[in-house]
Amino acid sequence: MSARIRLLAAGLSYEEDIRVFTAVSKPVDTLRALYLGIETDDGFSGLAEVRANIAFLTLIPEDEVPGLIRVLVDALDWTRPPRDLFATLRETAAGHPAIARAAVESALVDGLAREQGLTVAEFLGGTWQEAVETSNCLFWSPDDVFDRLAERYVREGFTDLKVRIAIEDDFGHDLARLQRLRDRYGDSIRLAVDANGAWPSEIAVERLKALEPLNLAYVEQPTTIGDWDAFARAGRATRIPLMADENLKTDADFDALMRLGPPFLAHLKIAKMGGPHVVVDAARRLREAGVEAMMGQMNEGAMATALTVHCAMAIRPKFHELYGCYGLLNDPASGVHYGNGRVSIPRRPGIGLDFDARETTTLWDIERR
């Protein structure tokens, strides 16, 4: 058997008002999307996307990601059938970065689902849904843009909004914006916030108390990333459920969260965990421990967003964050649609989107025999 493996790249930009800006990412004007394509001489074909410029999560510089994917590709035995590569990937890819594992596993999952005539959701053990509810996100922006986007999202049926906070050293400004949302939309919206690990333990407890009157669904990653003791102390000091995100990457992290148990929450992401099958397995472990989860993503293109939607169909989590490609202007993948606060994708085998490789640049194109 021989395999052709390609890595393509594209820079994806949002419309004018939408700009990724969080306490850890700072301003991001362009998403650096990578597309790994795998084709074999027996007709297998799989394609998947990961985003390279997420060093704030992976700690891997953007320009190193393609090479790390190549290292993993070179380590695999492509004379074996893709189904065998997939079955043993966790062992053979152990020690490789999650972003590289996510690229390879996602492309294999897409191709294997196509071979069986299944959507990825079905391949992962779930059932198909015509549409899935999703939140939308209010990143940091000037107040006029913030208010304009909030009005737009609510008008479009998004009743679940997450607000990025702790970007400025002005918690009073964060509180004022959140109160403005409550005053305008009342309990017709579910409101949450994400501090992206900006607060030391003592400050976190104080600020969580100040957030309690806003009736938040959860506060995501309020404490310093990696400090599970601070996360636990903060959770015990407030009645708002706390969600782990940047804290939650390794098996040891999941064990720590499961020891805490409910009402603590988990944010699951393909890019940080190493692939869709890894996510589904983690969700099942969490459910057994009584810990509710959110199926979410980085801000990513349509291909990665659609794969995340498939995962959401497979695990049926309590929360959904599937807005990653909302508002993108120049995506080479198409087929993701938003409406009435929901996201829909075509019911086709695999990930199921159309893809125009002419809108990308080839980084490398190799054959393995």
Domain ranges of the chain: 3-117+356-364, 132-344
The reply to whether 3-117+356-364 and 132-344 are identical in fold is no
Q: What is the structure's pLDDT at 321?
A: 98
Cβ(295)–Cβ(279) below 8 Å: yes
Indicate the class that CATH gives domain 132-344. alpha beta
Cβ(24)–Cβ(342) below 8 Å: no
Q: How confident is the model at residue 104 (pLDDT cuts 50, 70, 90)?
A: very high
Cβ(3)–Cβ(368) below 8 Å: yes
Asked if the model's pLDDT at residue 12 lies above 90, the reply is: yes
User: Which positions ≥6 away from 335 have C-beta within 8 Å?
Assistant: 302, 306, 345, 346, 352, 353, 354
Separation CA 234–CA 209 (nearest Å): 10
Per DSSP, the three-state class of 345 is: coil
Query: How far is C-alpha 333 from the geometric centre of its chain's CA atoms?
Result: 17
Q: What is the structure's pLDDT at 271?
A: 96
Separation CA 110–CA 261 (nearest Å): 33
Model's pTM, two decimal places?
A: 0.97
Predicted confidence (pLDDT) per residue in 107-149, tens digit: 999 999 999 999 999 999 999 999 999 999 999 999 999 999 9
Separation CA 49–CA 94 (nearest Å): 20
Per DSSP, the three-state class of 79 is: coil
Separation CA 353–CA 347 (nearest Å): 9
> ∠195-16-328 over CA atoms, to 5°?
80
Separation CA 224–CA 237 (nearest Å): 16
Cβ(28)–Cβ(167) below 8 Å: no
Q: How confident is the model at residue 1 (pLDDT cuts 50, 70, 90)?
A: confident
| Across 241-269, average pLDDT | 95
81 preceded by a cis bond (ω within 30 of 0): no
Q: What is the structure's pLDDT at 369?
A: 81
Q: What is the C-alpha radius of gyration for the chain, rounded to an integer number of angstroms?
A: 20
Asked if the model's pLDDT at residue 157 lies above 90, the reply is: yes
Asked if the model's pLDDT at residue 249 lies above 90, the reply is: no
CATH of the domain spanning 3-117+356-364: 3.30.390.10
Separation CA 300–CA 31 (nearest Å): 7
Cβ(72)–Cβ(37) below 8 Å: no
- Average pLDDT score, the chain: 96
Would you call 254 exposed, middle or buried from its count of C-beta atoms within 10 A (0-12, 13-18, 19+)?
Answer: buried
